[in-house]
A = this chain, B = another copy of it.
Amino acid sequence: MSELRQNPATKEWVIIATERAKRPEDFPKTPSPPSAELPKFCPFCPGNEDSTPPEVLSYRKEGTEPNKSGWWIRVIRNRFAALTPDGSLERKELGFFRSMDGVGHHEVVIEMPEHHKSITTAERKQVEEIILAYRERYLALVEDPRVQLVIIFKNHGKAAGSSLEHPHSQIVATPIVPGRIRERIEAAIRHYDDHGACVYCEIMKEEKNEGKRIVLENDDFFVFEPFAPRSPFETWVLPKRHSSTFGQITIDEAKNLAAILQTTLKKVHSGLGNPDYNFVIHTAPKRDVNEEYYHWHIQIILRLSIPAGFEMGSGIYINVIPPEECARFLREID
């Protein structure tokens, strides 16, 4: 018989379907193979800076000019921006319907100059710089009074929606709080009202007690497979210090985040053969800074299975491997 499990943070249910159970070891290792050759043209490679929109931030060698080579991190405006800085916040009532200008920001973080490296193969120092760039852009974007929420995410591999191979992540600043985020916040508020404690802090405490879903931890971060994961190897990275928005991360914490994120992704990479994945930094809307009830965190989702009609229709995900097995598998990888 399968098991229905409820995510205590969102109250969403998942089905752990033991009827079609797999073991982590059974997963086909069919990753996006890194191509051996360089592509004909990559707009993110050094030397091609003038083929991208201008940079909004770069970490570069002293004496080099913006939008020229010499950088080790480069943040640019997305050429195909979903949201752009011009426009109005006014809601337009179109008869029965409502719309507004697509105002906001959409940036690309070019994570390193090397086309064929990645967060898993880069130097630790480089990963630290990526997290520090996320932090710096987060803090800059929330200064725009029209911005309500900043979402930082990475799409790795074609099945994860990435169209360019050069290692990069993206930042979107939205002028609204999306309904899905508001529901997550409201579920956390209801938990806080009932228990007087942050639900994420409580999950972390419980996971430490139970132990069987822990992947690893360091001084500032805790990595585990959640009790009710939507798909195999859904992995959460939680800061140990309660804070509601990503922008509150300190520079020392950013370094420890780089360390634990890299180690986690290395385990996934070597254990499952460089699978396609997304990660998302879930943070409270900017106005909810210093709230007791929400706790920013990272979710890593591997694209090993395809959500189909049932997931679309119900919001319930069917997961074929219990998280306890995934955690054991990841713990055992060096």
A interface residue numbers (CB < 8 A to B): 1-6, 8, 10-13, 15-17, 19-20, 80-84, 86-87, 95-103, 149, 151, 153-155, 158-162, 170, 172, 174-176, 178-181, 183, 202-203, 206, 209-210, 227-228, 278-282, 299, 301, 305-310, 312-316, 318
For the complex, what is the distance from the CA of A158 to the CA of B308, rounded to whole Å? 10
Provide the residues of chain B in CB contact with A183, threshold 8 Å: 179, 183
Provide the residues of chain B in CB contact with A16, threshold 8 Å: 102
Least CB separation from A184: chain B residue: B315
Once A80-B19, A278-B308, A282-B313 are accepted as A-B contacts, the answer to whether A5 and B97 lie under 8 Å apart by CB is: yes
Copies in the complex: 2
Contact: A178 with B4, CB < 8 Å? Answer: no
Most buried by B among A12, A87, A158, A280: A280
CB distance from A213 to the nearest CB of B (A): 10
CB distance from A121 to the nearest CB of B (A): 20
Most buried by B among A17, A87, A301, A306: A306
Provide the residues of chain B in CB contact with A6, threshold 8 Å: 97-99
Contact: B313 with A153, CB < 8 Å? Answer: yes
Q: Could you name 29 residue pairs across A and B whose Cβ atoms are closer than 8 Å?
A: A1-B101, A2-B83, A2-B84, A4-B100, A4-B176, A5-B98, A5-B99, A6-B97, A12-B178, A13-B176, A13-B179, A15-B82, A17-B80, A17-B102, A19-B82, A19-B84, A20-B80, A82-B318, A95-B209, A97-B206, A153-B313, A154-B309, A158-B306, A159-B306, A161-B308, A178-B315, A181-B315, A279-B309, A301-B312
